[in-house]
Structure 1
């Protein structure tokens, strides 16, 4: 049985590590590089890196990438104040501080922001959120857990709760941070141009983080600093409408972009599970489809496929096409 694409990538990276081509502490190629070099989908590349993480040959480092070597662990022999090595940097054996005298500890503020006094590791909320995003990007939102993040950062699970609360709160912060990577640009032009800009900005965020669409709610929208400007911009664009119609229009735009974006994660997961691209899958269905078309006398399908017409299923094109249809309908109301 031939190896699946992700196994081929993992084997090549494993070879580079074992031969010393990739040294401990060095970055391995990013998922985007693997997508480009091996001609695979993002999900396949992330699955290859995950396989190496499971073998403890590499580990994810927030803000850096995937690094050769097992994840660093923090000494837990004696709890003490966090070493001040800067955001996201834990104490090395040479710089770790001894426990402070009782008088100094008594005068120090409790739960000081940016520190994890239980593990000796400098830790802040942004670092925890970034690690959650990194895990979700690589493996999907279900893989994110407080225990998993704590293990990756080398801290106690309870330390995370002091910084981000529970998982539900963490996911909200991840959503807000992910949208924050794509701030709304200045909006110009008529209502249609402004709505298009808002929708395209959201699409870019969903494209960068495949888990994000599934974490955003339309019926119970999250009140987050990075999302509210999107709602405000759409409400301003739909101002000629009455308030109820305008709100339905806003929800419709949000729902359209989010709904189509969820197809990206579904497709990535399907390709990861089957090893088949959408084109590969369609090719394998062609014979069965031809049989069903003939048996059911499906004339429109028969005419569509009569001249070996080849359909290019492109989600970016589908997004732009569907958005134009939606805006054409809204134009009638406006």
Structure 2
């Protein structure tokens, strides 16, 4: 990286982080020469690089100033609008498709301008997750711990169905701080405390229930991608692979697996969710009943 590129990169960072906002003057060639002890040619190159990025423009009487993105609805060019655009791309194409370059193209702004609204790719992803949590509408509390937990878990599931990338992006071991996730957390913890669990056990089972929902939700995006790539549904894929499965699992060694192969299994992620959730909550209910008797 040349000296001019290093200096330009520092100014890009200041623009991305809001230290220099649209309309603010950027250092002149003389100021760059003085502050960085470089020649006029190098200072001029710095401003040329920023102009090529579309980040600055020359104005009569003011020199170079930070350029306000044009050609875009001003209502979209907010942090919330940029995050919403990123969510739309992820919904349509996958989370992997969301890059700063792809997002800039969708918004019609220079790539570096995206950093004004999201300082990093990691920051953008956390904001996207939090935006999805903000969409979740929890049902009214019933006062019955099990009904309240079921309602919260199903609301979380609906968010995963609406945004297939969402489940896979959630971390259970290193979760980010997301303000809009707190109502969901409080609702589930409140339900578990209402079942009679102490705080530690309630948090353990909260993590278990969310992991259950997340685990099934994480199958949604890969299945949609596979279906788009092949045009084959999950059931059709299993039919095509039935012969391979029978070869590696003959009836004399795997009678139970062969029994379900004979009957056929209509795969449905929502059925898995309901089955797993009910058995999970049954377990809590049985354990608490035993504890109290």
Give the one of 198, 211, 226 matched to 1:255: 211
CA shift for structure 1 position 328:
0.6
Determine whether 1:270 maps to 2:222. Answer: no
CA shift for structure 1 position 296:
4.8
Structure 1 stretches of at least 4 aligned residues deviating more than 6 Å after TM superposition: 98-101
Alpha carbons of 1:329 and 1:161: their partners in 2 closer, same or farther (altered >3 Å)? same
Give the one of 102, 113, 119 matched to 1:165: 119
Native 8 Å contact 1:235 1:250 kept in 2: yes
Determine whether 1:179 maps to 2:133. Answer: yes
Q: Distance in 1 between matches of 2:261 and 2:204?
A: 39
Match for residue 72 of structure 1?
none
Name the one with the larger helix percent.
Answer: 2
User: Where does 1:1-334 land on structure 2 (aligned, <5 Å)?
Assistant: 117-119=68-70, 121=72, 122=74, 123-239=77-193, 240-294=196-250, 296-306=252-262, 309-334=263-288
Alpha carbons of 1:333 and 1:223: their partners in 2 closer, same or farther (altered >3 Å)? farther
CA shift for structure 1 position 127:
1.8
Gaps of 5+ in 1: 1-79, 82-97
Native 8 Å contact 1:183 1:226 kept in 2: no
Match for residue 67 of structure 1?
none
Q: Please provide the CA RMSD for this pair.
A: 2.6
Q: What TM-score, normalized to structure 2?
A: 0.71
Alpha carbons of 1:166 and 1:303: their partners in 2 closer, same or farther (altered >3 Å)? closer
Query: Secondary structure of 2:127's partner?
Result: helix
CA shift for structure 1 position 159:
1.6
How many equivalent pairs are there?
A: 229
Native 8 Å contact 2:71 2:108 kept in 1: no
